[in-house]
Amino acid sequence: MKDTMIQYFQWDLPADRSLYKKLGAQAAQLARTGFNMVWMPPASKGAAGVNDVGYSPYDLYDLGEFYQKGTQSTKYGTRAQYLRAINALHKRKIRVIADVVLNHKMGADILEDAMASTVSQLDRNKIDQSLHPVKTWTGFTFPGRRDKYSSFHWTWRHFTGTDYDESNRQNELLLFEGKYWNDRVSHENGNYDFIMGCDVDFSNTEVIDELYRWGHWYVTQTQVDGFRLDAVKNIDSSFFKCWLEDMHKYGNHPDFAVGEFWSGNVWDVKHYLHDCGYCMKMMDVPLHYELQRASMSNGTYDIRKLFHDTLTNYDPHYAVAFVDNHDTQPHQSLESWVMDWFKTAAYASILLYKCECPCVFYGDYYGIPSADKHPVSCLKEMVWIRANLLSSNFIDLFDEDRQKACWMAYGEHPVIVIYTIADRKEKTFCEPNYAGQTIVDVMNPDHTETFGPDGTVHVSCMPGCASVYILKSDYSRLRREIKKDR
């Protein structure tokens, strides 16, 4: 089976603690559709308790087990429900990808006195105010857990900096005495070691030892199969290679990792990939931005060049392609939504073409009611086609028309895709091996075409739409399989 991942959460899910239960109940359906990897949300207790999406980590050891931050459960459920969901996925041979947030901590228990310099937000190498006394929320003792699993307590000495001084009640970027921003990170804003909260110091041996201890505990407890690593552009690139190799020795021996380096510049992403020793894949953020540009171009984008400046093009084995995610959805900090009219074509591009490991977003698969977004048309069908029909032998059928994309996956079960970012488009080509065969447009099943005696066929798509053609016999099979989940 080809790899196909689903990101099983979106930012605006209700805080009803039901996601793990829902995921466990839908494991069989996800497997039948064609998913073999599920990216689960961050499982650790966040600073906002039950309302925390997971990216403000407070206690990495609290997976919804201890009463902390006003709740036992996380937003998604309890520790027991988390483990049951993982088990349900494993029973269906679906690999579990855990979202791991190591860069920062938030929601400290103790106010501490320290010395720090104030640093410019726009140039973190510039000191705006020299060393001075500060009071910072940097003491983490986790009183609700009472040292179960780990007795390690965090203090300001375990962080490089933080972003709030209680003494003057000001939000400002503070660099602690004796600390330096790590240079093996993105050089955005001079140095992008800091992103938010209390910035974990990856040069501190006590910190490194604790992150290894936690990792051993976590993979053994959960048996996850891999990691989605949050905000790697802010983390020392030399850390992950050894850490991931060590994690592979424990639990279910996780052997998959994908990092989030948020940049639309493919060379920035490739640079970090090189620096970390190619120990992980990377989310193809440049491709996401190309898809967004195409959707907003009013037909002026050259769709034939969609993949040119993307990680999928330069390093396909290390790219995880996606259309949108929790950060790019409406009203979020990195909002860059691929316009709805183009979503089906965008997913055809990552699911039914040359992408080795595409990721489907929960908000596109199930919809986002809070933003009035509906499920993407025929997304489930495309995932099924990828898993059951799609070959790796692609024949490009692009021509001089910059507004049209067209290709065929050649094999026993041919898949033909044509889409347009403007007016109606069509393509005529010849493939003698399919002479006499009838194909059905999955997007519009009333639309069928038949290969002529010499193998000539004519395919088309409506304005601003995509068409995906498969054999009539394959379409009948698809309908039987999809019907089981209705």
Residues that are catalytic:
230, 260
Query: Across-strand partners of 408?
Result: 395, 416
Q: How far apart are CA 241 and CA 442, in angstroms?
A: 43
